[in-house]
Structure 1
């Protein structure tokens, strides 16, 4: 079993500035200092839980500017909310400025955050699936600076964006069969979330078998995990998860990662054994600083 990369979400969501929210530069530097491998940003225009959300691309640009080693990643970018050419321009710029440290997680926006974001940008929510597929078909070429015809009406001009950049790993977010189909058609990896090790192992085996049947390389697997670590209030985190994702408290408790560094390292090892190449942790209670420390210690125990 190889040692998985360990990443952490930046504090881009919250209810007030300060504390566990908004300290992007400080959090990115601290993640690098404690030995974590990457920092990630969630992506919402308008959250379903009523709190503020920083712009994911600007948050990652800030993180890249104050660090030297850690990767940066979208976890995940809601692709159909934006014109694909603007996504490509943003991604290419982040790659260029960060020295090719970017991972591009993308999704169709299926999390339960309501219709407000779609209404705000004038995109019909029911079209998010087809828009995602159409964008994925042209996104690599646009990022690379290749002449590309956009997924619009026939006869639209070919677009070439400059400067082109190295196309980052494209990770398809979601636990559904549709997400896995997109991995096989367009992605370099799969980005599920909140799966127990036994379920993850079965899904990874099936996905890699399907990739081999198509003559494709085994997809990389990046697993999203929700946590309340150290002395963070796990009960509060469970309540938050249950509310945001509209699940029972029992379900929320079963998917939440808790405990000290040793317990976290043991769970990471189980995920790696099940096929996870990278684990990305987000917090649902407590300040980021002490929890980053727990993750850094857990990461050191895996070596």
Structure 2
């Protein structure tokens, strides 16, 4: 199982200038991917901006959005953003997309929080069209340079509709920030949908988990704050699942390896660059 690390782009009031430094240090440490977390109605750094900054600051490490809220974006704009980030990085981006569940993230007129599943189905077709270099409606021009590739696409969500959508139109799946015991049924559901759809090979299965070494209380408080708009119970549950210290992190890694994750992205809960080396010492 590969081990990636998140960037702290959605820690409240993060200092944006830390992101390129975080990316460089994570690449030097040997992590396989850099992950971003995405919301709009929160005082962090937009995931597309964080990925672009990381792309420019690094040369080998993978980039993965886990997850970006797809339906809050006009599809052509997101497809062009993703293609640009992928091109700048030299083809290192994996676009992880989810529906989102917080109404305040839907800030674009006409793109509300209802009907997001059907909208994502249509959006994925638009992403593919843009990346193929098809001309935009009403224009003689495509949106992206010649040679743009089909950016690998992973989808998040823990319902059957998501598993079926992965099997129809994506390259794999990203689980939510919950324990491996809760992720296993989702992985099994994606695998079953993949086979039922007649897809060759296997879906890419990515998991995410929060970790901390220093100032665990502040880290848990940051996670609780981030999820507070989803309700007190959800915020308490996810913040209580932060893996604190070497032994807890090792146990978390083992639990996701046991259920067959291809990659685990360990997301920081504080924006302290020392958390990078501390994690590397334990898991790499």
State TM-score, norm by structure 1. Answer: 0.82
Partner of 1:131: 119
Contact (CA 8 Å) 1:172, 1:189: kept in 2 or not? Answer: yes
Partner of 1:153: none
Partner of 1:92: 83
1:271 and 1:14, CA in 2 relative to 1: closer, same or farther beyond 3 A? closer
Structure 1 residue 239: deviation in Å?
4.2
1:83 and 1:16, CA in 2 relative to 1: closer, same or farther beyond 3 A? closer
1:17 and 1:263, CA in 2 relative to 1: closer, same or farther beyond 3 A? closer
Q: Is residue 204 of structure 1 aligned with residue 204 of structure 2?
A: no
Residue 126 of structure 1 aligns to a residue in which SS? Answer: coil
Structure 1 residue 238: deviation in Å?
6.3
Partner of 2:55: 64
Structure 1 residue 124: deviation in Å?
2.2
Query: Using the alignment, how far apart are the partners of 1:214 and 1:77 within structure 2?
Result: 25
Partner of 1:177: 160
Contact (CA 8 Å) 2:223, 2:239: kept in 1 or not? Answer: yes
Q: Residues 190-227 of structure 1: CA distance to partner in whole angstroms, max 9, x if unpaired?
A: 11112322332333233212311221132111112123
Aligned residues: 280
Q: Is residue 81 of structure 1 aligned with residue 68 of structure 2?
A: no
Partner of 1:53: 44
1:183 and 1:17, CA in 2 relative to 1: closer, same or farther beyond 3 A? closer
1:39 and 1:31, CA in 2 relative to 1: closer, same or farther beyond 3 A? same
Structure 1 residue 24: deviation in Å?
0.8
For structure 2, the 5+ residue unaligned runs are none
Residue 67 of structure 2 aligns to a residue in which SS? Answer: strand
Query: Using the alignment, how far apart are the partners of 2:198 and 2:109 within structure 1?
Result: 39
Partner of 1:28: 23
Contact (CA 8 Å) 1:12, 1:22: kept in 2 or not? Answer: no
1:148 and 1:177, CA in 2 relative to 1: closer, same or farther beyond 3 A? farther
Structure 1 residue 22: deviation in Å?
4.6
Query: Using the alignment, how far apart are the partners of 1:245 and 1:76 within structure 2?
Result: 16
Q: Is residue 13 of structure 1 aligned with residue 1 of structure 2?
A: no
1:148 and 1:189, CA in 2 relative to 1: closer, same or farther beyond 3 A? farther
The alignment's C-alpha RMSD in Å is 2.6
Partner of 1:218: 202
251, 256, 267: which is aligned to 2:242?
256
State TM-score, norm by structure 2. Answer: 0.87
